[in-house]
Amino acid sequence: MKTSLVVTLIGPDKPGLVEIVSGTLTEHRASWQESSMSRLAGKFAGIMIASVDSTRADNLLNALQQLDTQGLKVIAEVDSSSEIERQGKPLCLELIGHDKPGIVRDISRALAKHNVSVDHLETEVVSGSMSAEMLFKASADLMAPVDTDLDELQEGLEAIASDLMVDISLNLQGN
């Protein structure tokens, strides 16, 4: 029987870190399932899912903890949830506007009010093309409950967008 491990990693960025992690997985006959890894502010940061035979999970967890000798802080946990197909409306949110504190807080508060889950979020701050002002950009994959009133959700987001002076688009994924 297979066990899934959810692993987070952070450490000073240097060549070979992904190789060290993948080598550790291979040594324990685990397979690399899914990941997202980036260089953020000079640090290597990542999150991943690995699959391993249940009888090898404890040894792999211990080996991953030993990566601190390589400069990587590792948090690894067994995924104890059973994979259930989620019901809902998959949505895509895109946002752009002048960078200021509180954008993510205000948008995520409105989403939580409607019980909308954030499945994936990517953000960045970039220089505006026509000015030196910094722009905040966000892209999110969301899952809304089946009974969500999308018009009401859209109206709530548009009110926040007006207050924050950002542009927001919300669409059903695939549309």
- pLDDT reading at 133 higher than 70: yes
Query: 82: pLDDT confidence band, cut at 50, 70 and 90?
Result: low
Domain range annotation of the chain? 2-78, 89-172
For the CA atoms of 168, 171, 174, 175, the dihedral, rounded to the nearest 10 degrees, stands at -110
Decide which of 3.40.50.620, 3.30.70.260, 3.40.50.300, 1.20.1090.10 is the CATH code for 2-78: 3.30.70.260
Query: 175: pLDDT confidence band, cut at 50, 70 and 90?
Result: low
* Main-chain phi, psi angles of 123, to 5 degrees: -135, 155
Q: What is the pTM of this model?
A: 0.80
43-47, 75-79, 106-110, range with the lowest pLDDT: 75-79
Identical topology for domains 2-78 and 89-172 = yes
Helix (H) or strand (E) holding 156: helix 150-164
- pLDDT reading at 130 higher than 90: no
Output the pLDDT for position 84: 58
Domain 89-172 has CATH 3.10.580.10: no
Within 8 A by CB and 6+ apart from 83, the residues are none
- pLDDT reading at 83 higher than 60: no
The mean of the pLDDT values for the chain is 92
Rounded alpha-carbon distances, angstroms, from residue 120 to 1, 69, 139, 140:
28, 31, 8, 5
Output the pLDDT for position 128: 80
Evaluate whether 156 touches 75 at the Cβ level (below 8 Å): no
Output the pLDDT for position 174: 72
| 48 or 129: which leads in pLDDT | 48
DSSP calls for 71-128: T-EEEEEE--S---PPPSEEEEEEEEEE--TTHHHHHHHHHHHTT-EEEEEEEEEEE-
Output the pLDDT for position 42: 93
C-alpha to C-alpha distance for 162 and 95, rounded to whole angstroms: 12
Structure confidence by residue, pLDDT tens digits, 42-69: 999 999 999 999 999 999 999 999 999 9
- Of the candidates 3, 1, 37, 2, the one whose C-alpha atom is nearest the C-alpha of residue 21 is 37
